[in-house]
Amino acid sequence: MMNPESGGKMRDRKRLGATMAILTTAGLTACGAIQPETPGAPPPDDSIVACEDVTPLRAPDENYRDDPVYVGNDQPVEEVRAWAQDLPGYAGIWIDREHNGWVSVAFTQDVAERRTEVADEFSDEGVAVVEALHTEEQLADLAERVRTEGPEGAVSSLAPEPQLGVVAVELSVLSEENLQAMEEFVDEPLCVSGPEPEEVVEPGEQPTEGEQWRLLGEEQTGEVYRTGVATTESQYADLWEQAGMSGEVPALDLESEIAVWFGAVYGSSCPIRLDDVVATGRVLHAEIVVPGSPGACTEDANPHAFVVAVQREALPEGPFHVQLSAEDPPAGVPEERTVVSADLSTPGSTATADQIGTDPDLIDAADEQAPARSGDTIEPGRVWPYRLVVNEACDIRRLGRLNDVDWVTDDPTLPAAWAPLVTGGEVEVEVILTERTEAAGPTLEASAEGTTVEYRPMRSDDPATC
């Protein structure tokens, strides 16, 4: 399913896990057995490794400073790129979120000279020169060779990853056959990822029925992240129209069945299939799958309506919910959940329009901005609610990590005005993040009950105990 906030969801990279034995059999080497001599060293050229295990490239520690700290997207990426891309041995550029958002720029030669030049050209900025083994052009050429000469049907997607120093190849499935087919690239700087065989959904036709349900119709139409229920002839006709279905309304035995609409969503490169309708506790939901091994799905959100008849004896006792999955609807689309406040398991029972609708609590929660927590990213210059953990040893010294920066205050005592707000070891405050300027670094202010505490980025010489 797609994320309504981003418009789509990229397939997560998988560890090779159980496939490591296959990798070894194929003459490839699992990265778990490879330990670079120094942190940030590229993987050996004679092995193909799991992409998530490749150690990112970085400069030696002495090349980084506590300042500047970037909390937005104000890094001089384009300026550094313009300076670097025509120099000999250019190997790529990226933002290193683990080092205060600094710009990393990689070269395969003259690294010491480049570091001296960066210190002069970008003295007030955060730029680190990283040593790489392969140039940007070499990785691009390798990616093209894998694309044209690699095993047909085995590769879902691939791209040079300069921060890893390799070409990242996503296989359609981490099968023995596909891994064996990659043997011709065993001496190349590659890493692989992909789903395990047991995670791949077999292609097949849309089922027309399952246990205690049958398909009334399905079309790529209607609204996304929506559901609906019908218990009478008029409700059923309205539901068919609301779902965007064409043609005559199929027959429905309302004595023993109800109609349910699942307004699902898919990316155009990842068509979906309804495999089952299941009751989990008091939630009636679909089991919607992406057949095959499509790799990364496109981020367009397209509608796919499934209208099904569900046997009443399969329904949860009322009240119950209807959703696209057993999990709560994603943030931003509370309308996905349909609440039925009547018990429809009795033959011929009906629910009025007032007994079928959205969840008001979910709607209200969606209208309120969810508090951010440590590890989140927020928009600079905008007020955000934040859940701050009050530490018994350190009070409020450490606010947490926001925008990949750890924030601390030099006045760690819990303000008296905040004390009554502490519940469960946390206090909800409002924070506002200010980006760095020419005169000062970034700051973060936390406020509640008219009292404000200022936080700054944590420095390397700050105590690590709090």
pLDDT of residue 130: 97
Q: Which helix (H) or strand (E) holds 111?
A: helix 111-121
Residues whose CB is less than 8 angstroms from the CB of residue 72 and which lie 6 or more positions away in sequence, other chains included: 380, 403, 435
Tell which residue, 304, 299, 370, has the closest CA to residue 334: 370
Domain segments of the chain: what residues? 17-55+136-199, 61-131, 209-366, 384-457
Distance CA 154, CA 182 (A): 9
**Sign of the CA dihedral with 368 first, then 371, 376, and 380 last:** positive
Which two tokens mark 162?
A: 């300069």
- 244 DSSP assignment: T
**pLDDT of the chain, 466 residues: tens digit per residue:** 333 333 332 223 333 433 433 344 344 443 333 333 344 444 454 557 889 889 999 999 999 999 999 999 899 999 999 999 999 999 999 999 999 999 999 999 999 999 999 999 999 999 999 999 999 999 999 999 999 998 888 888 899 999 999 999 999 889 889 888 898 898 899 999 998 998 889 889 999 999 999 999 999 999 999 999 999 999 999 999 999 999 999 999 999 999 999 999 998 888 999 999 999 999 999 999 999 866 667 778 899 999 999 999 999 988 999 999 999 998 789 999 999 999 999 999 999 999 999 999 888 776 677 899 999 999 999 999 999 999 877 899 999 999 999 999 999 999 999 999 999 999 999 999 999 988 899 999 999 999 999 999 999 998 877 7
Strand 102-107 versus strand 127-131 pairing type: parallel
Tell which residue, 403, 415, 423, 405, has the closest CA to residue 446: 415
Distance CA 31, CA 42 (A): 11
Strand 213-219 versus strand 48-50 pairing type: unpaired
pLDDT of residue 199: 87
Residues whose CB is less than 8 angstroms from the CB of residue 55 and which lie 6 or more positions away in sequence, other chains included: 36, 39, 40, 41, 42, 43
pLDDT of residue 58: 95
Find tokens 């089952």 and name the residue. 276
Tell which residue, 345, 230, 231, has the closest CA to residue 279: 345
Which two tokens mark 411?
A: 């006045």
Q: Which amino acid is at 363?
A: I
pLDDT of residue 294: 67
Residues whose CB is less than 8 angstroms from the CB of residue 271 and which lie 6 or more positions away in sequence, other chains included: 290, 291, 304
76, 68 in Cβ contact below 8 A?
Answer: no
Phi-psi region of 123 (alpha: psi -120 to 50; beta: other; left: phi over 0): alpha
Which two tokens mark 357?
A: 């609708």
